[in-house]
Amino acid sequence: MKKKTRTKFVRYLGKQMKEDYTALQIYSRDMADLPNLTKLLFNNTPDGIILPRNVEDIQRVYNLANETKTPVIPRSGGTTGFGGSIPYNKGLVIDCKGLDGELLIEPIDQTVTTSPSIIFSDLQKKLKLQGFSLCSYPSSFYSATVGGWISHGGHGIGSIKYGNVVDQIAEMQVVLPNGEIKSFSEKEDISLFFGSNGTLGIITEIKLKIKFDIPLKQFGCIFDSPVELMKGLKELQDVDPFSVWFLNPAQVSAFNDSFGYNLPRSYVAIVSKEISYEEEELTFSNNFNNSIRKAGGQILDKRYIMDIWDFRFKTFALLKEFPDFLVSEVILPIETSAKYLRKLAGLFEGSLRAEGELISNTHYSLLLYLPIEEPINDFKKSLLILKINKHVLKSKKVGGFPYSTGLWFAGYYPQIYGKEMYKRYKDFKKKVDPKNISNPGKVCSPKMRFFPLFKLKSIIRIASEFS
């Protein structure tokens, strides 16, 4: 960063800006630690970190960034492994956790107005005190922020019943990259920000729809094959579940090892249902059993269900014994993905673990973990990242797509959200961020750092093919 540019930011931000080596290193990663070799593709160490205190700070930062053509990278919980909140090529990371705001629960409208930096578990706790609950939330419930989930393109627990995060936003306020503060309440507008990775500005206030806090009851089942599992996912939609979460055979084995279980190496699903009274539970239980039988599955012994469900937000703990691991996530159609799922189970000598969550009547998300058993060098780790990416991209053949764009899948926006949406996104981006200062390198594929003739997307795709 040029001296003059730096001075401008420091003069305004003072202690709200950090530039020391240690802080820069910490902010150069998210959940996934990038191998040094990837420096050839990205320069993920920022020039500085900014902790804005309020909307005015963000406006000012955007104005200065436009003036000096400085990339601004919004960051919140930093809980995904997609790289959406780490720089593509230096710039200033804006840590949105600095944004505090009043929490306002409107019991009649059933909405809550909150700062985007609130962590889901904190928000849920506050809602529960008033008898309300979030409609859906991510599996990184204890660390992800509401704003971060919108920018990442969040589907999660409860999405099958209440939809993705866009369906739950009643209104939101955004500071656009041109410094304008704007409120959005139309779904069409809000959906522009879904999965935008902060490229369209920084969300500064959100009004979320909430629901009454109805107790959840869990039920479990086992399917021998992906075909049966897919049948089960279809059948289970008729019982109006709150969540359908499943584990692939490798993940079931990890549970077996960790809990001393002897579950068959197959697909285990835990279904959650909002149940208010005893008769409802009985009716649901009958319907559930019928659905599972129809799909060819078996009912899971009750003693396992609560143990597994209680581990719902802790499955990363199953990776603690490994020196390293890789993560990715893909969205797949129920109808056509059974074969793909079977293939995944055989990859990396059967060690690729997966957890799925039904997110709509047609699709489910699949979180992939690859534990790395022995420490490996940077080159090998880079190859493995590319290899996982290759398999995520291969899901296209069965109608699947990456969960989000982030750093690795920049350029895949049309595949994820559709071409029409992409056109709308590009038009809006051009209007509000003509200099492309808000999180450049994300969503739309950037040009290569050292070979600007090529786009990063093509390079990653080719490298993945040969990995």
Partner 1 sequence: MSSPNEWQVDILEAAQQCVYCGYCAVCPTFRELKWETYHPRGILDQIKMYYLETTKEELKSDISKSLFDSIFACTMCKACENICIADIPLLKIWEQVRQESFKKGRWNPALLSLYNKVKDTQNIFGLPKEERVSWAGLANMVMTKRTQRKAKVAYFVGCQASYSGKMEGVAASVIKILRKARVDFTILGNEEWCCGSPVFLAGGYSVGKTFAKHNLDQFKKLGVKRVVTACAGCYRAFKIVYPRILGDKWDLEVLHISEFVAELLEQKKLKYTKTIKEKITFKDPCELVRHCGLIEPPREIIEKIPGVRYEDLPSNREEALCCGGGGLLKLNDADLTRQVNSRLIEEIEYSEAEIVVNGCPTCLDTIQQGVKKKGLDVEVIDIAELVRRAIGG
Is the CB of 26 or the CB of 462 nearer to partner 1?
26
Within 8 A by CB and 6+ apart from 177, the residues are 62, 65, 66, 72, 200, 201, 432, 433, 435, 437, 438
Is the CB of 30 or the CB of 235 nearer to partner 1?
30
Q: Is 333 exposed, middle or buried (0-12, 13-18, 19+ CB in 10 A)?
A: middle
Is the CB of 325 or the CB of 364 nearer to partner 1?
325
Pair 234, 228: CB distance under 8 Å: no
Closest C-alpha among 80, 97, 58, 37 to residue 380:
37
CB of 16 to partner 1, least distance (A): 10
Binding residues for partner 1, rule: CB under 8 A, are 18, 20-23, 25-27, 30-33, 49, 51, 77-79, 95, 97-98, 119, 125, 129, 140, 142-144, 313-314, 316-317, 319-320, 323, 325
How do the residues of the chain divide into helix, strand and coil, expressed in percent and rounded to 5? Answer: 40, 20, 35
Residue 107, helix vs strand vs coil: coil
Bridge-based pairing state of the strands 267-274 and 216-223: antiparallel
Separation between Cα atoms, residue 345 and residue 250, nearest integer Å: 7
Counting every residue written for the chain, the total comes to: 467
Within 8 A by CB and 6+ apart from 59, the residues are 175, 179, 181
Q: Look up tokens 């969205």; give the residue.
A: 331
Is the CB of 140 or the CB of 199 nearer to partner 1?
140
CB of 324 to partner 1, least distance (A): 9
Angle at 98 between CA 97 and CA 102, to 5 degrees: 90
Q: Give the single-character DSSP code of 32.
A: S
Is the CB of 122 or the CB of 280 nearer to partner 1?
122
Residue 430, helix vs strand vs coil: helix
CB of 462 to partner 1, least distance (A): 29
CA distances from 90 to 42, 74, 84, 408, 441 (A): 9, 13, 13, 16, 11
Is the CB of 32 or the CB of 268 nearer to partner 1?
32
CB of 356 to partner 1, least distance (A): 19
How many other C-beta atoms can be found within 10 angstroms of the C-beta atom of residue 376? 15
Is the CB of 95 or the CB of 433 nearer to partner 1?
95
Pair 54, 108: CB distance under 8 Å: no
Closest C-alpha among 226, 225, 184 to residue 204:
184
CB of 312 to partner 1, least distance (A): 11
Is the CB of 21 or the CB of 450 nearer to partner 1?
21
CB of 310 to partner 1, least distance (A): 12
User: What residues form DSSP beta bridges with 207?
Assistant: 113, 171
Within 8 A by CB and 6+ apart from 406, the residues are 80, 82, 83, 84, 152, 197, 442
CB of 353 to partner 1, least distance (A): 13
CB of 203 to partner 1, least distance (A): 17
Is the CB of 299 or the CB of 319 nearer to partner 1?
319
CB of 15 to partner 1, least distance (A): 10
Closest C-alpha among 121, 136, 158, 124 to residue 271:
158
- Identity of the residue numbered 283: T
CB of 31 to partner 1, least distance (A): 5
Is the CB of 111 or the CB of 140 nearer to partner 1?
140
Is the CB of 46 or the CB of 356 nearer to partner 1?
46
CB of 24 to partner 1, least distance (A): 10
